[in-house]
Amino acid sequence: MVITHRGTDIKNNGALVTDVKGVLFNNYVNQISSASTFANNVVAVLHDIEQEKKVCIELFFTDHFLGGWLAQISAFTTEYLEDKEGTFLKKWKREKDEPLACRTVQDTHDVRHSYHPHTVVFDSPG
């Protein structure tokens, strides 16, 4: 599965300034929360599909420039954080005997999901 994040609309000067300031000065912008929440919701559905169908689904995030920055943030949050009542917290390790849906690159990481998010970005400032 590939998730592409759309970066800032360059025709919207206000959003462009806000987003560039967010990247350059490492400030929070609303798109971070939206992108991370969307990505984690997709991951939850993928996890259910993997468990039910016993299949492996690879997950990729991509885009360019500011969308690439969001792709990197989304990959990080889906790999290391989980959404708990609207707050992203560190994922807990999975139980030793809890089976993975499939054997993938993720086997080397000891977390609750069986996928590993990949990120391919172009001209990302992140």
- Each as own residue / partner, the long-range contacts of residues 42-48 (CB below 8 Å, 24 or more positions apart, any chain) are 42/1, 42/3, 43/78, 43/113, 43/115, 43/117, 46/1, 46/115, 47/101, 47/113, 47/114, 47/115
Q: Tokens representing 83?
A: 């959404």
Say how far apart CA 78 and CA 42 lie, in whole Å.
Answer: 10
Question: Is the whole model's pTM more than 0.95, yes or no?
Answer: no
Other beta carbons within 10 angstroms of residue 51's beta carbon come to 15
Q: What is the pLDDT of residues 103-116, one digit of tens each?
A: 544 444 434 445 67
Q: Tokens representing 30?
A: 């609303």
- Residue 39 backbone class (left: φ over 0; alpha: ψ -120 to 50; beta: rest): alpha
61: pLDDT strictly greater than 80:
yes
Give pLDDT, residue 84: 75
Give pLDDT, residue 110: 39
